Structure 1
């Protein structure tokens, strides 16, 4: 009897950290080539374009994860998790979602900072640069952003006592690799450490809604 191969270190949590667990999630992602010829993670990103992709892109049906010379496949529970980690939709396999994200980004940021100089269109490289600055701190670790819990829009993640919590439909749901759980969130105090980059929080506040794992809707 053949033994099951151990999982690759490519499951992403809301901090953007890579783990080796069996749960696959509902989205794939890409930060460039992160693995070596032994399928070990040797870097945590290779460029500022961090993407979220459909699980099985039609043009890559025959790929094996961590093939040599190609990008390292990452996996997310859902789009809200990918946003918290600092990823945005891929243009190639999620063109409709990519277009909606880019248009929503421009509109939301123009509305939040009205001026004659506010751009109505940005090249995606400029958006990627903003996201990279918001997700990675000077120590090359996840950057969090303080904010009052009250008023955070649906789809936002925050951290409390070492766990990640999703704001969704008036409540906080605890994140796991397998889905969301209803639990008593720790007292938040005046502010929380927000994991979702501020520019994406601005987008969510404008009404843009991320897709979430089905378990998020079991408690409403």
Structure 2
């Protein structure tokens, strides 16, 4: 039997995680994501990216385009629980279908990186910086920081739970899983944590970008 005849895994491997991986799960996401065509000849996902523009898109068909699955030569639809997860995975808002979010992201990017508000910053400029900050040799780039120095919306690994990503939000850490967020725990601002969200995006969050959070994390 040829590879193209083999049944594909169900559920599909198309869900982003804050750890920079793509996994299969039956849980749904709230954002569509795109890294280009990641398909193997049989339609399965076999690579982490094809292009440097990693974007998050709306489910609404703004331009009347339908999502296609398991189709080589077409982009591979990926999904994220929410925007904070997508940010940790290295994505940014799409400049086409999420124009308002993208424009706000750019404004905060300028503040974060000391760029005059009148200067032009394009999607390719952002993608170039993000791509060098999110992965190296196929592995997620991480750094350490104090909890008190990190903005809401940042994903981290806590010292006592190095295998479980957690979202920092209003002084608490929310352990994450594909099903959503578990009950929060208090975090000492002096605690040192491993930061999963790329450093340039952390700076954007610190400059005032408030990511969309799913599943009742916000009060």
* TM-score of the aligned structures, taking structure 2 as reference length: 0.86
1:121 is the counterpart of 2:120: yes
Does 1:52 pair with 2:56? Answer: yes
CA-CA distance at 1:185 after TM superposition: 7.2
Assess if the C-alpha contact under 8 Å between 2:68 and 2:77 holds in 1: no
Q: CA deviation at 1:209?
A: 0.5
Q: 138, 141, 157: which is aligned to 2:139?
A: 141
**1:121 deviation in Å?**
2.9
Cα separation, partners in 2 of 1:144 and 1:178, compared to 1, 3 Å? same
> Structure 2 stretches of 5 or more lacking a match?
1-8
Residue 49 and residue 105 in structure 1: after superposition, are their counterparts in 2 closer, same or farther (change >3 A)? same
Deviation of 1:93 after TM superposition, in Å, equals: 0.9
Q: 2:73 aligns with which of 64, 69, 73?
A: 69
For 2:192 and 2:40, locate their aligned partners in 1 and report how far apart those are by CA, in whole Å.
40
Q: Displacement of 1:122 after TM fit? A: 2.1
User: How does 1:195-214 map onto structure 2 within 5 Å?
Assistant: 195-214=196-215
More strand by share: 2
Q: Deviations over 1:13-68 (max 9, x none)?
A: 00221001111210000000001232221211011110011123333553332333
Count of aligned pairs = 208
Taking the aligned partners of 1:6 and 1:188, their CA distance within structure 2 comes to 42
Matches within 5 A, 1:160-199: 160=158, 161-184=162-185, 190-199=191-200
Distance 1:126 1:206 in 2: 18
| TM-score (ref. length: structure 1) | 0.86
Q: Aligned partners of 1:214, 1:63: CA distance in 2, in Å?
A: 24
Retained in 1: the 8 A contact 2:44–2:70?
A: no
Question: Secondary structure at the residue paired with 1:25?
Answer: coil
Are the structure 2 counterparts of residues 135 and 201 from structure 1 closer, same or farther at C-alpha, using a change threshold of 3 Å?
A: same
Whole-angstrom CA distance in 2 between matches of 1:208 and 1:58? 23
In 1: Cα distance, 2:71 partner to 2:216 partner:
32
Q: Structure 1 residues 72 and 185, CA, compared in 2 at 3 Å: closer, same or farther? A: farther
Tell me the distance in 1 between the aligned counterparts of 2:188 and 2:110: 35
**Contact 1:34 1:71 (8 Å CA) reproduced:** yes
- Contact 2:39 2:71 (8 Å CA) reproduced: no
Q: CA deviation at 1:140?
A: 2.1
